[in-house]
Structure 1
């Protein structure tokens, strides 16, 4: 029986998080001190509940094996118009830091997520003049507004380690490629060092690589993100 792709449902969140934990074990061992408790996982599950019912610009998928178990999944965002960036890097990071998660290495996570947030602005961001002047004085300069371009963004893609190298990632990426062609929009994603070769095989171009020295936070690893 081939693997089947279906829309992810609200009631699937806990199971999908368990699969994601296994898929992102290399990343998680940096951010967390150990396996998440049920209480900590519940915090993360709660943070995703806003995806359901799905907003118009969000698509969540799950992949089921022959037993009906979730073994992979993905989440996509569709941005058809220019997107004004209304929050700072610090505010974007604060949304990802969960103080209730006792296993989180909070200082490490804050610095790592700052790299992610700033890197996205460096790659995608551009400034335009606002309709609002910087002061009420006549002929004053207009404010600069940061925007991201229209795009289809892969927010996350995960495959259980026992099911990797079976073409599942390719099947999940197919939706994005088809939607990109349909709407005439570019694709954007961020990847771990493990995921980067996979995406490059499917034609994604690496435009920025960020190193992160976890040894500064007591973890004996140096990693890269693209």
Structure 2
């Protein structure tokens, strides 16, 4: 059951910096060590991330969400969903050209190890290509809850929002989870399909970074009476 004190809605472009701050704080001990492996990101880099979020909202149709505590007005969590769908409205699958166009790799940040940065995106893109092929899907790219607001249901509400949209569209939902995140995603119907590892040892780390690829099956859509014989 959703927490009545919390509210999920689409992020506004002017809220991009606040979203960035939450994401950066939550992921400092985990994914940030991959993205910014050479050190803490500068203000220049944080400004770039903020602008990327704003551009994603305004120009790229990326679905950024915020979760707000209604009693304080504070943004306590955020998520990033994307709907990979065919350009043609009536098409049931994407073309391979559309698939490949979605696998762009951004330029590394000043604090990135370029080879590691590109290796991460190559690993993630390779698995999407292999497991989803040309099928449309919703993908959860980011889900971040401030530590002091964990266990209030914010993360679950952000996940459910995208799952509901996937069900409405009759498509699968896809994500790469940390090992700790798997149980929560399973409660929303995601199933582990593959474990992958980012080769961090190659870049001097003591251990590799594991992820669990999870897919939530498409909800069967009701038959269209207009197509009945």
Q: Would the TM-score normalized by the shorter structure come out above 0.5?
A: yes
Are the equivalent residues in 2 in contact too, given 1:5–1:62 (CA < 8 A)? yes
Which of the residues 95, 100, 107 maps onto 1:97? 107
Question: Gaps (5+ residues) in structure 1?
Answer: 126-147
Consecutive unaligned residues of structure 2, counting only runs of 5 or more, are: 87-92, 213-229
Question: TM-score, normalised on structure 1?
Answer: 0.77
Measure how far apart 1:63 and its partner are. 1.0
**Aligned in 2, Cα 1:197/1:24: closer, same or farther, shift over 3 Å?**
farther
CA contact (8 A) 1:152 1:188 kept: yes
CA distance in structure 1 between the partners assigned to 2:63 and 2:118 by the alignment: 27
| CA-based RMSD | 2.6
With the length of structure 2 as denominator, give the TM-score of the two structures.
0.76
Superposed CA offset, 1:98-144 (max 9, x none): 3xx2211222111122111111111111xxxxxxxxxxxxxxxxxxx
CA–CA separation in structure 2 for the residues paired with 1:105 and 1:88:
27
| SS in structure 2 of the partner of residue 209 of structure 1 | strand
Residue by residue over 1:43-78, the C-alpha shift from the partner in whole angstroms, topping out at 9 and shown as x without a partner, is: 1222233333366x5432101233322211122223
Structure-2 residue corresponding to 1:4: 7
Aligned position for 1:60: 64
* Contact map agreement 2:199 2:209 (CA 8 A) in 1: yes
- Structure 1 runs (4+) greater than 4 angstroms displaced: 87-91
Q: 77, 83, 93: which is aligned to 1:78? A: 83
- 1:148-195 CA distance string (max 9 Å, x none): 212222232211122222211111122223223322222122223332
Tell me if 1:162 matches 2:148: yes
In the other structure, the counterpart of 2:34 is: 30
